[in-house]
Amino acid sequence: MIHIRAAGALDAAAMAELLNAIIAQGGTTALTTPVTRTDILDWIARAPDLSAWHIAEDDSGTLLGFQWIAPHAKLPPQAADIATFVGIGKTGLGTGSALFRATAQAARNLGYDWINATIRADNTGGLAYYQSRGFEDYKTETGVQLANGLRVDRVRKRFTL
């Protein structure tokens, strides 16, 4: 069974480990360098009153994935940006669906009108995930350079709350 709860400081190391495995695999995130527990804690601390962080665990307490919403400088104040990370080999189990139910409710509670997802155009799994949640394409960015020099196209999707 999947359990969703708010993420906290004690989860940061496991979240960094899960995310680093995804970064190392490549192809699905714009992040290209490993992150640390401190990085995660810094992200959580950026806008604590305007963001929500959730983790998904199994019955044994093993981290399956995590998701957050937060304001973003390129978005209007009525929009939150979303990021979703599910452990390698843990997709297709309902983790993302369970996380999004909690995140969408948190976005409403925080007063947001819509959620933005920015996905690499070559991340077919990510595009399908957000599409299946009801996100709709509204913009495409071409030739965006990542930190490692790779250029990718990105699709921006919008979910109206």
Give me the DSSP letters along 82-115: EEEEE-TT-TTSSHHHHHHHHHHHHHHHTT-SEE
- Kindly report, residue by residue over 107-146, the tens digit of the pLDDT: 999 999 999 999 999 888 899 999 999 999 999 999 988 8
pLDDT for the residue 14:
97
As a whole number of angstroms, the distance between CA 125 and CA 17 comes to 21
Residue type, 21: A
Q: How would you class 13 by CB atoms within 10 Å of its CB: exposed for 0-12, middle for 13-18, buried for 19 or more?
A: middle
* Assigned superfamily of 3-160: Gcn5-related N-acetyltransferase (GNAT) (3.40.630.30)
As a whole number of angstroms, the distance between CA 48 and CA 31 comes to 22
Residues of the chain scoring pLDDT < 70: none
pLDDT for the residue 140:
95
pLDDT for the residue 119:
93
As a whole number of angstroms, the distance between CA 37 and CA 11 comes to 9
pLDDT for the residue 118:
96
- Distances 125 to 1, 132, 138, 148, 158 between C-alpha atoms, Å: 22, 10, 18, 22, 17
